[in-house]
Structure 1
Amino acid sequence: MGIIVRYITGGPRAVFDPKWKSGCIRSAGWLVGILLVIFVIIILLQAAFTPWGRSLTGAPTLTGRWYGETARPPGQAKPIYVKIEGLIWGADEGGCLRNCDVQGIVRVCIAPSVIQNYTFYGDVSNRSGRNFRIDMRKVEDRAYGWKIYELKGAWLGGDTLRLAGEWITDPPRRDIRIVTDSAGNTVMDPAPEPERRAPVTFALRRGRERDFLAACKDLKPGD
């Protein structure tokens, strides 16, 4: 914009004036320097207040890629892959009260090459990130049979973590009618299936998605 104004008011010679060009370069240098200082300050603040998401010393962080399998119930080793990203660029601005700290994806293998995909947002309960919770949402618009709605995590600051939650029944959608039974009561036909729940715990370590995919492919039917 400054070049256009300069050209209109002074013509081509004014644009190529060495003194004016030198001043523009100095101004641009100052602007870049100020932006760099602001960026460094933000990084330092993140490392100070959310070390679970930003480390300046090379220490492990909660964020990253994790791979593991079910630790409970026994005998049902279902592979899992989790990618955690930190929302640490102003997550609490605008009065955020829930699901303000982390986001990411969860992939759970329930049968050979059959994968449940979820996205999530969650909260970290303290500065160290040792306890956190994530709310999960299904990616596909289909019945999973069994789904996971929420997981609570425990991380001791190293390269392992545990996630605990519940499997919840997720049956296919059915057409339901509202009818009156022989006793004159208003009921649903067919009657809805009762919700069932089962506890589940996952043990994870640092890992790659391709390790998860390989384990899912090799999962034995009926595991």
Structure 2
Amino acid sequence: MDLRDKAAMVTGASKGIGRQTALDLAKAGADVAISARSKDLLDSLAAEIEKAGRKVLVFAGDMSKEEEIKAFIQQTVDTFGKINVLINNAGLGHFHPVAEMSTQHWDEMFNLNVRGLFITTREALPFLRQAGEAVIVNVVSLAGKNAFVNGGGYAASKHAVLGFSRCLMLEERKNNIRVLAICPGSVTTNFSDHQPGLLAPEKKALKPMDISETIIHAVRMPQRAMISEIDIRPSNP
């Protein structure tokens, strides 16, 4: 896909992978709608997107709430008139032994990581289909394939997202929508602060730009070629 003058949505765009991907989409020529809970961080990103010469929509909201998801999508369509690319990046993790995990933490992870991603995708699909050529990128995690101590809730949510992504790919390819599930390993982001002892040392971990560059490359592939799943991990952790 040629990203020039396309419209992209990025959830969880205030930091890390989401922020870098939104900025790189703009540098590739796309207008970008960005969402997260922190308006201040979104406004800072929006200024950089505008410096790249692209339009930007800022939506400060909670992507685990259906009404806010619907509002974000509607504002995107009202602003840009279309949606060509959807980057589902919003997510959170709580890391505790199963015996000590609260129901609240479990529900928070599934409400955002799984339910929110599902609603965002479902509500965006009519517009993605109308685009004639579209891409959905679900930022999963290697936790969607692997088990680790204290990761029962987070890994379960990411296994769910990976299964959802695989089914979605099979359903939507006939509508000229390519679906990519990208599964990063250790990445130096704020999210990493909540996973002590689980990550590669910072100097060996991936950077958000590594994930973003991979996403941009996959999106830019011609319509005939779909990269449906990518594992990306530190070379020598």
TM-score range, shorter chain: under 0.3
* Structure with the bigger percentage of strand: 1
| TM-score, normalising length: structure 1 | 0.25
| TM-score, normalising length: structure 2 | 0.24
